[in-house]
Amino acid sequence: MGVDDMADDQITLTDKNGMLTLSRDACLRYLGRTGVGRVAVTVGALPAIFPVNYAMKGDDVVFRTAQGTKLDAAVRNAVVAFEVDHSDRMSHTGWSVMILGPARAITDPGELADTDLLPLTRWARAGGAESTVCISTDLVSGRELVNLRYQT
């Protein structure tokens, strides 16, 4: 789906980088593609960034972390940024969506069981314990870059 497929009201203004600002609906639609995203956390006031495989559970982003790792420790009740993007090297177009919010470990057995049905790739080595983490999309923003040279 590109910008052409969106209703006019889904695109509002351009930002300081000359990119289109995406509506919440458009952001959620891009997040709904699932796959690989990146989580940024602060570790001792320093930023760190990790790729994760994620899926959507309702309007929440869900991913798993291997227990005992830096990422697992950093996301515990901390405010994190989660970002997904897509870029096309040929047309020089792309989009990115970022959410910001507290990460929450899912511990309720029923809620955890629900996440078993999500298309989350298990990357951890055999036997490794994992945490399941979710982030709300309450604060979501997105931008899209359209290359006018490729518009008809």
Nearest CB to another protein, comparing residues 109 and 116: 116
Nearest CB to another protein, comparing residues 79 and 112: 79
Nearest CB to another protein, comparing residues 10 and 53: 53
Those residues with Cβ within 8 angstroms of residue 145's Cβ, 6 or more apart along the chain or in another chain: 19, 20, 92, 93, 94, 95
Closest contact distance (angstroms) between CB of 68 and another protein is 7
The amino acid at residue 140 is V
Nearest CB to another protein, comparing residues 89 and 110: 89
* Residue spans of alpha helices (H) in 33-100: 70-74
CB 51 within 8 A of CB 63: no
Interface residues with another protein (CB under 8 A)? 16-19, 35-36, 38, 40-42, 45-51, 53, 65-66, 68-72, 79-83, 85, 87, 89, 92-94, 96, 98, 100, 121, 123-126, 145, 147-148
